[in-house]
Amino acid sequence: MILPSVDPFTPVDEQVSDESDHECTQEAHDPEHQHDESCAHEADTPAGVTVVNGLTIVHDFDMSTFPADETSLYLFNERLGRIPSINHFSQLRSVVLTKNLLRTIEGLDQLVQLEELDLYDNLIDRISGLEKLVNLRRLDLSFNKIRKIEGLETLVNLRRLYLVSNKISKMEGLESQKHLELLEMAHNRVRVIENISHMSELTELWLARNKLTSLAGLDGLTSLTLLSIQSNRISTLDGLSKVPALEELYASHNAIASLTSLAACPRAEIATSEPTEPTEDETSQLVAPVAALTLRRPATASPFDISDGALANVPHLTTLDVAVNRLRSFEGAECLVSLQELWANGNQISDFRDVERYISPSKDSLQTIYLEHNPLRADPQYHLKLKILFPGLTQIDAVHLRPGMTPMAAAAAGVAVDSGTPSPYRAM
């Protein structure tokens, strides 16, 4: 029997309600009741299949066609109402039951060799039935209805745990996860980072779209290289000193007004020199003059004392995303000398001299910069100035630049994008 497929782009909890009885009996008692095709189908529904609100749910999936030595089981969008009987597949290493209608986790007790279990996008409201899966390394319970982290005590070999888009309000029940390398809890209801200080092997922590107000609780995460905290309620980056190995920080859509908590680089070398005007070749074809451009090109480096803060404690940062915050200055970023990508669109940066002073320590490494939707973007020489400041740029906002492109060519490419006309200078 071939069952019609469920819309793969609609979460299952929007395709089936908690009501278990479809009102098909009204048709029999009311002659004027409009005929419902789903009721007609329900009358001849085969055994092991039910129809709820017009949606077919499979309770007894036929596994007889699968070989006994199967190592991977993939049942995507099969409308499963319960996990099929698979305990006899002794060689299974991976089970994927994504986008079904499962409400409970059961029938997996004999799969002690299982290493990967994917229950993404179901209707599960409680973590249970996993106690015997002691070799599990990857568990995905994203897009369910889970409110509490529990039932993971015996899963001491977990490396990757995904709990995206549930209803979890507290980071708990993770005490046995000492070898976790990735924890993904975006789009929940978490207010405090807690109970993870024992995760010394954790390299990625994803907490976007929660209700965090601070970065307290990062203690012990000495291996963390990626931190995602977008779309929270964070106003300061205090706390980053606890994650010295950090390489990627994603903190867009918060309320951050200053980066000074990042500046903790005593005796940092800040380049100083007399202002130098752009060459005639760089300005000859521009509509507006560049007389006001006074960019400092480094001559000598001198010691510069800066007060203690947080960014200097993450010297390996290569990606900094602070888009859509409340920044008026990049002060505090001068300790970062290895930035490759800076995303700061949607702030209040208005002065190129601020960009020069605090971002120029990454002049040799910076490849991508986003500053659109800042006041300085209104400058007619926006692209030219950025390319002069950072010769290695390959992207300015949405403008892709060819390697080695001159400042003049970069400016022309930017003008073409602004005007909506094609430019021979733009990278293909």
Domain of 158, CATH number, reads 3.80.10.10
Q: Work out the number of other CB atoms within 10 angstroms of the CB of residue 290.
A: 19
pLDDT in tens, 105-135: 999 999 999 999 999 999 999 999 999 999 9
Q: Considering the domain boundaries, does residue 162 fall inside one?
A: yes
- Please state whether 7 falls in left (phi above 0), alpha (psi between -120 and 50) or beta: beta
Q: Based on the structure, what is the number of domains in the chain?
A: 1
What is the extent of the structural domain holding 29?
Answer: 1-186
Angle at 186 between CA 223 and CA 177, to 5 degrees: 45
Q: Considering the domain boundaries, does residue 257 fall inside one?
A: no
pLDDT at 48: 59
Burial call 299-334: b when 16+ CB within 10 Å, e when fewer? eeeeeeebeebbbbbbeebbbbbbbbbebebbbbbb
pLDDT in tens, 361-405: 999 999 999 999 999 999 999 999 999 999 999 999 999 998 777
Spatial separation of the C-alpha atoms in residues 51 and 58, rounded to whole Å:
9
Please check whether residue 69 is in contact with residue 93, taking contact to mean a CB–CB distance below 8 angstroms.
no
Q: Considering the domain boundaries, does residue 301 fall inside one?
A: no
Q: Considering the domain boundaries, does residue 255 fall inside one?
A: no
Tokens of 341: 């990508």
Query: pTM for this structure?
Result: 0.80
Tokens of 418: 């602004």
Please check whether residue 355 is in contact with residue 389, taking contact to mean a CB–CB distance below 8 angstroms.
yes
Q: Considering the domain boundaries, does residue 398 fall inside one?
A: no
Q: Considering the domain boundaries, does residue 260 fall inside one?
A: no
Which residue do the tokens 């002073």 mark? 357
Span of 142-156, 298-312, 333-347 with lowest mean pLDDT: 298-312
Residue 240: name the closest of 253, 249, 231, 252 by CA: 249
Residue 226 CB contacts under 8 Å (≥ 6 apart), including other chains:
203, 204, 205, 206, 246, 247, 248, 250
pLDDT at 414: 65
Amino acid at 362: S
Q: Considering the domain boundaries, does residue 103 fall inside one?
A: yes
